[in-house]
Amino acid sequence: MSDSNGNTTTETLQHAMVEKLMAIIGAPDDEDVAKAADLVVQALDTRLTETLPAVP
């Protein structure tokens, strides 16, 4: 899913993270799978960090 600007939605990133984690379970020694999962986790982390209010 994308928003009206073509950006990936948080929900899409969450689903992608679940898919990548399932792939890691299926291929725990595959570095490419781990790297792909890491990219999704970083993107989701960035998205969630941007949307959270600042803590005083």
* Widest pairwise Cα distance in the chain: 42
What pLDDT is stored for residue 1 in this prediction? Answer: 47
Compute the average pLDDT of residues 33-54: 88
Question: Distance of CA 38 to CAs 3, 43, 55, Å?
Answer: 23, 9, 26
Q: Measure CA of the first residue to CA of the last residue in the chain; give whole Å.
A: 33
Give residue-wise pLDDT tens across range 4-24: 566 688 899 999 999 999 999
Q: Could you list the beta-strand ranges (E) of the chain.
A: none
Question: Distance of CA 11 to CAs 6, 14, 50, Å?
Answer: 14, 5, 15
What pLDDT is stored for residue 56 in this prediction? Answer: 67
Is the pLDDT assigned to residue 51 strictly greater than 90? no
What pLDDT is stored for residue 53 in this prediction? Answer: 72
For the whole model, what pTM was predicted? 0.72
